[in-house]
């Protein structure tokens, strides 16, 4: 998972996914692309509001990589209340 607040993602994902999967949480685009290059990733969840890059730009970078063509990528949109 890629997002700006790993504590929030960690709490939610560990409860739902970690029994059957290995969950890695990164907060930077470079770490996400490095993880995708390993070939050990089946799902990437990208937040549109990242600190170091735009989430759609990261999505485009991941899709352009041969190693991530078979990875399912979900994009999260955070709606902040007024």
Number of structural domains found in the chain: 1
For position 33, which CATH number holds?
A: 3.40.50.2300
Q: Report the C-alpha gap between 48 and 18 in whole angstroms.
A: 24
% of residues, the chain, pLDDT over 90? 16
% of residues, the chain, pLDDT over 70? 78
- CB under 8 Å to 82, separation ≥6 — which residues? none
14 phi/psi in degrees, rounded to 5? -60, -35
What is the residue range of 65's domain? 6-76
Beta bridge partners, 73, equal: 44
Q: For the segment 48-77, what is each residue's pLDDT rounded down to a tens digit?
A: 877 778 888 999 999 999 888 889 998 887
29 inside domain:
yes
């Amino acid at each position: 998972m890629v997002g700006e607040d790993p504590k929030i993602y960690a709490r939610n994902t560990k409860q739902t996914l970690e029994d059957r999967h290995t969950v890695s949480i990164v907060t930077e685009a470079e770490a996400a692309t490095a993880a995708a290059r390993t070939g050990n990733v089946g799902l990437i969840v990208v937040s549109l509001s990242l600190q170091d890059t735009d989430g759609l730009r990261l999505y485009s970078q991941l899709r352009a990589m041969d190693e991530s063509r078979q990875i399912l990528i979900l994009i999260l949109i955070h709606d902040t209340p007024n």
